[in-house]
Every structure is written in C-alpha cells, then in structure tokens.
Amino acid sequence: MAMKIKSGDQVEVISGKDKGKQGQVLRTDPKKSVVFVENANMVKRHQRAMPSPSGQGPGKEGGIIEMEGPIHISNVMLLDPTDNKPTRVGIRVTDDGKRQRFSKRTGETV
C-alpha cells in the first residue's frame, strides 16, 4: 500500500512517548509502514569502531550513539502547510491524470 507521507514532510507525532513533537521525516519504510522522524523516538545503539577501508582518513568511531527509531505511520499526522496544524491527507487526480496530495482540513495542495 502506498504511504501518504513521504520523506521531507513536516509531521507531528500524535501518540506514544513523543506525542506532540514535530519534525521532518528523514526516511520511510513502506513495507513495514513506518517512518523515521528527526528527534522523535530516540534510541541508543552500540556501535563498534571500524577503521576506514582504505586505511586513510578516519573510520567509524565506536561507542553508544543515539539515533531515530521507527514510528508507525498511524502515529504521525502531516502538518498543514498553511497553519502548521495536523491534518489528514487525501489524494485527488488532476485533469491531466496526475495524482496530488491535499490537506483534508483546508483543501490546499501539499
């Protein structure tokens, strides 16, 4: 199923421990129906230090790193570009046959 939220969209988390946080979608995973939102659902990961493959320059540094965890698509809402309030997203077909997303609150194209 195609997701109505894409990378780069501004969204608000509507449920869970980060409810109310707003941020940009960093990436999506349509097969799992999850999105990764900047500074939301932060998780800690242990990373092993890795030298650079060529032996020149810095490699990956080891330690505990914080990164964004996945959030299910049903727990985020797109922000309406006109007033930055959460809105549902609809899809309509234009006269020339192209699909476009629109805000259900205001009817504006997203």
pTM for the model? 0.85
Domain membership of residue 4 (yes or no) is no
**What are the DSSP E strand ranges found in 22-95?**
22-29, 34-37, 42-47, 63-68, 71-72, 76-79, 86-87, 89-93
Domain membership of residue 68 (yes or no) is yes
Q: For residue range 24-79, what is the model confidence (pLDDT) as tens digits? A: 999 999 999 999 999 999 999 999 988 888 777 788 888 999 999 999 999 999 99
Domain membership of residue 110 (yes or no) is no
Band of the pLDDT at 88, cuts 50, 70, 90?
very high
Domain membership of residue 95 (yes or no) is yes
Please give the DSSP secondary-structure letter assigned to residue 91: E
Return the closest-CA partner of residue 33 out of 89, 77, 74, 90. 74
pLDDT of residue 64: 94
Structural domain containing residue 77: 10-51+60-103
Q: Mention every residue, 6+ apart, whose C-beta is less than 8 A from residue 21.
A: 12, 13, 37, 39, 40
Higher pLDDT, 93 or 61: 93
Domain membership of residue 90 (yes or no) is yes
Domain of residue 19, CATH code: 2.30.30.30
Domain membership of residue 91 (yes or no) is yes
